[in-house]
Amino acid sequence: MPALLFLLAASWPVLQAQGNGVLTVAPPSRLTIKRGATGELSVKANLQSGFHVNSNMPGDDYLIPIRLTWNKEPLEAEQVSYPKPQMEHLGFSANPVSVYTGTFEIVTRFKAPANASPGIAFMNGKLRYQACNNKECLAPRTVDVRVTLDIQ
Amino acid sequence: MTKTATALAACFVFAAAFTFAGCSKASRKAAGQGNPNLALAPEFKLQDANGQAVRLSDYRGKVVLLDFWATWCGPCKVEIPWFMDFEREFKDRGFAVLGVSMDEDGWKVIKPYMASMKMNYPVLLGNDEVSNKYGGLDSLPTTLLIDRQGRIVSKHIGITGGKDDFKNAIVELLNAPNAGAVVPAGRILARLTGPR
């Protein structure tokens, strides 16, 4: 019985991930931040094996870059930092294409306004991406990202 | 095993079956494979780059290669030169290539792309309606070969074969004995939709 429960619990996130496309975003950890201060938050994405997404600067105007955007409140997103991409030679392009594969993290530096209301709040964002493997491409998708804030 | 454990096991099996069924590659293979009663390609009316309305039924009587693609799709870019060659080689034998772009940004991205690729066949702007009619088009390229009677002979998702596979299938359709003949679809389907 415990083994069965463990199997069920362990498998469920995988099953859910497959139902939601090839890229999944882990729920971000809570961000504790003081009013007037800055804090960093990492959004961890995991891409199904065999697929890639374009980096934030894919190097071809027709390719759709990955983009993490945030609402303007209650924190201000000062900077979004993308990881170093891999340069892949893909069949359709003479030049290497800048992509992410596997697990990667996008870090956002937030600033809490000095007049922010203290307490628990939420920051909502969207991660837009477009994934391909070496045979096919999937339509662009947007994943909602929600962060719990503890503003002090 | 207790009733609770049995119920949990049943839930697990159901969830797994439901989830994997949704991702099944088999479900994305050719429509009508092995079925002698080929389905008619769903009708649509879309605009071309000049704003003219084009219906699929306008092409009835021709063998049509219908390619759903997008400018952001790398594998689509590999196939487009093949299709341009087919258009050149077979257009006088009752063959036509018809591209349907699924770009959300519309003509402002499609037209420059067509020019840069020197595309020599008509491209139409797709929409949700045509996507739904053709099964959602979750993956691009999705390419269909349609016979002279407007029937879907093969559905080809992603790049699974090569240029010659397409060419042989087109020639076979063009050489079909007469307009009313049943095309040997099984052979063509098998060639185009091999293991992925």
Give this complex's ipTM: 0.80
CB contact under 8 A, A4 and B76: no
CB contact under 8 A, A130 and B2: no
Q: Is residue A43 part of a domain?
A: yes
pLDDT per position as a tens digit, B129-183 = 999 999 999 899 999 999 999 999 999 999 978 899 999 999 999 998 754 444 4
Query: So what's the pLDDT on residue B28?
Result: 34
Q: Is residue A3 part of a domain?
A: no
Query: So what's the pLDDT on residue B180?
Result: 46
Q: Does B158 touch chain A (CB under 8 A)?
A: yes
Say what the alpha-carbon torsion angle B128, B100, A65, A84 is, to the nearest 10 degrees: 130
Residues 6+ apart with CB under 8 A from B188: B145, B153, B154, B169, B172, B173
Annotate A33-62 with b (16+ C-beta within 10 A) or e (fewer): beeeeebebebebebbeebbbbbbebbbeb
Q: Please state, in angstroms and rounded to a whole number, the distance separating the CA atoms of residues A60 and B52.
A: 30
Which one of A135, A138, A141, A142 makes the best mutation probe of the B interface by having the most chain B beta carbons within 10 Å? A135
Shortest CB distance from A135 goes to which of B20, B70, B160? B160
What proportion of chain B, given as a percentage, has pLDDT over 70? 71
Q: Is residue A16 part of a domain?
A: no
Q: Please state, in angstroms and rounded to a whole number, the distance separating the CA atoms of residues A129 and A67.
A: 7
| Residue B102 structure tokens | 């699924």
Q: Is residue A14 part of a domain?
A: no
With DSSP H G I counted as helix, E B as strand and the rest as coil, what are the percentages for chain A, rounded to 5? 10, 45, 40
pLDDT per position as a tens digit, A20-66 = 479 999 999 999 999 999 999 999 999 999 999 999 999 888 999 99
Instruction: Name the β-bridge partners of B123.
Output: B99
Q: What is the pLDDT of chain B when averaged over all its residues?
A: 80
Q: Is A3 helix (H, G, I), strand (E, B) or coil?
A: helix
Q: Is B164 helix (H, G, I), strand (E, B) or coil?
A: helix
Which one of A136, A138, A141, A142 makes the best mutation probe of the B interface by having the most chain B beta carbons within 10 Å? A136
| Residue A30 structure tokens | 């809570």
Q: Please state, in angstroms and rounded to a whole number, the distance separating the CA atoms of residues A92 and B77.
A: 6
CB contact under 8 A, A140 and B104: yes
Query: So what's the pLDDT on residue A142?
Result: 95
CATH number at residue A117: 2.60.40.1250
Which of A11-15, A18-22, B62-66, B156-160 is predicted least confidently? A11-15
| Bond into A28 cis (ω within 30) | no
Better-predicted residue by pLDDT, B196 or A87: A87
Residue B31, pLDDT above cutoff 90: no
Better-predicted residue by pLDDT, A138 or B23: A138
Cβ atoms of B101 and B110 within 8 Å: the answer is yes
Q: Which residue segments constitute the domains of chain B, with CATH numbers given?
A: 42-192 (3.40.30.10)
Q: Which residues of B touch A1 (CB under 8 A)?
A: 2, 4-5
Q: Please state, in angstroms and rounded to a whole number, the distance separating the CA atoms of residues A130 and A148.
A: 26
Q: Is residue A5 part of a domain?
A: no
Longest dimension (CA), chain A: 56
CB contact under 8 A, B74 and A91: yes
Q: Does A50 touch chain B (CB under 8 A)?
A: no
Banded pLDDT at B38 (limits 50, 70, 90): confident
Rounded to the nearest angstrom, the gap between the alpha carbon of residue B87 and the centroid of all alpha carbons in its chain is 16
Cβ atoms of A98 and A59 within 8 Å: the answer is yes
Residues 6+ apart with CB under 8 A from A62: B71, B72, B109, B113
Q: Please state, in angstroms and rounded to a whole number, the distance separating the CA atoms of residues A39 and A108.
A: 8
Q: Is residue A12 part of a domain?
A: no
Query: So what's the pLDDT on residue B9?
Result: 43
pLDDT per position as a tens digit, A77-115 = 999 999 999 998 887 777 789 999 999 999 999 999 999
| Bond into A74 cis (ω within 30) | yes
Q: Is residue A58 part of a domain?
A: yes
Domain count, chain A: 1
Range of the domain at A111: 22-151
Q: What is the tally of helices (H) and strands (E) in chain B?
A: 6, 8
Q: Is residue A101 part of a domain?
A: yes
Closest chain A residue to B159, measured at CA: A135
